[in-house]
């Protein structure tokens, strides 16, 4: 397959397997999604979903969260890792949302990225999954699969995001982000596939014999 054929095949295959991909982080509104995505940094979605019920029972909106002690937040989110930094970020971003945005999560990439603990990937997830705005969040897993599938040369996640946006239609970005994540977990994980094992890797590169060495983000 050439690149154009691979892109078409991958898009069709992912749509066939995951026609309506659910959002993996439990949430009820943009604020709880924002906090859950922040917690998911270097942590599994499954672990985050185990922790957030207790956190959101304590406070499920910026007004309530801003009043909590950092120590109390940290105690609850400790299983997610990086709890000292994440607890401070959650409290401070909640304060900022109250001070500057009337308690609402801004529907704006620049504003989101200015919040404590919120980087480009987190902001992209919120824009995509909370507000339905076209975005293509790229984490280390998507970065790895895009390299295995020959969609990017993969020097870093910034380049990979740019390449994927160029290759796929904008109206497919939000679903593709989730579809690639689900496919990676099921078939093309870091240890489960080396670029020669999963159905998409085998279909795109049937003659590939050696493992595909991928560059870290």
**pLDDT recorded at residue 216:** 84
> Which one is catalytic: 121, 171, 207, 216?
121
Non-local CB neighbours of 11 within 8 Å, separated by 6+ positions:
168, 172, 176
Q: Reply yes or no on whether 139 is catalytic.
A: yes
Output DSSP code: residue 135: -
> Exactly one of 20, 139, 171, 216 is catalytic; which is it?
139
Number of neighbours of residue 62 by Cβ within 10 angstroms: 25
Residue 154 has pLDDT above 90, yes or no: no
pLDDT of residue 166: 97
pTM of the model: 0.93
Instruction: Classify burial at 179, counting beta carbons within 10 Å of its beta carbon; exposed 0-12, middle 13-18, buried 19 or more.
Output: buried
Is the pLDDT confidence value at 162 over 90? yes
Can 212 be counted among the known catalytic residues? no
- Reply yes or no on whether the pLDDT at 130 is more than 90: yes
Condensed to tens digits (0 to 9), the pLDDT of residues 59-87 reads: 999 999 999 999 999 999 999 999 999 99
Which CATH code of 3.20.20.70, 1.10.1670.10, 3.40.1190.20, 3.10.180.10 fits the domain covering 3-21+136-204? 1.10.1670.10
Cα separation, 140 vs 138, whole angstroms: 7
Structure token pair of residue 117: 């603990």
Name the CATH architecture for the domain at 30-129: Orthogonal Bundle (1.10)
Segments making up each domain of the chain, as ranges = 3-21+136-204, 30-129
3-class DSSP state of 73: helix
Q: Is the pLDDT of residue 217 over 80?
A: no
Quick check: 109 pLDDT over 90? Answer: yes
């Amino acid at each position: 397959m050439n690149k154009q054929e691979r892109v078409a095949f991958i898009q069709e295959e992912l749509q066939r397997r995951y026609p309506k991909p659910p959002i993996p982080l439990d949430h009820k509104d943009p604020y709880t999604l924002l906090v859950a995505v922040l917690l998911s940094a270097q942590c599994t979605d499954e672990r985050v979903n185990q922790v957030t019920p207790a956190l959101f029972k304590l406070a499920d909106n910026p007004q309530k969260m801003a009043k909590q002690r950092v120590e109390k937040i940290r105690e609850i989110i400790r299983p997610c890792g990086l709890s000292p930094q994440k607890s401070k970020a959650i409290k401070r971003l909640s304060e900022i949302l109250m001070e500057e945005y009337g308690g609402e999560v801004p529907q704006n990439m620049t504003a989101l990225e200015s919040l404590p603990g919120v980087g480009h990937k987190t902001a992209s997830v919120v824009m995509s999954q909370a507000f339905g705005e076209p975005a293509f969040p790229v984490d280390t897993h998507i970065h790895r699969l895009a390299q295995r599938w020959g969609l990017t040369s993969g020097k870093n996640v910034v380049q990979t995001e740019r390449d994927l946006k160029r290759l796929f239609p904008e109206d497919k970005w939000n679903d593709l982000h989730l579809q690639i994540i689900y496919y990676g977990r099921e078939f093309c994980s870091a240890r489960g596939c080396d670029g020669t094992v999963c159905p998409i890797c085998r279909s795109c590169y049937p003659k590939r014999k050696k493992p595909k060495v991928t560059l870290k983000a």
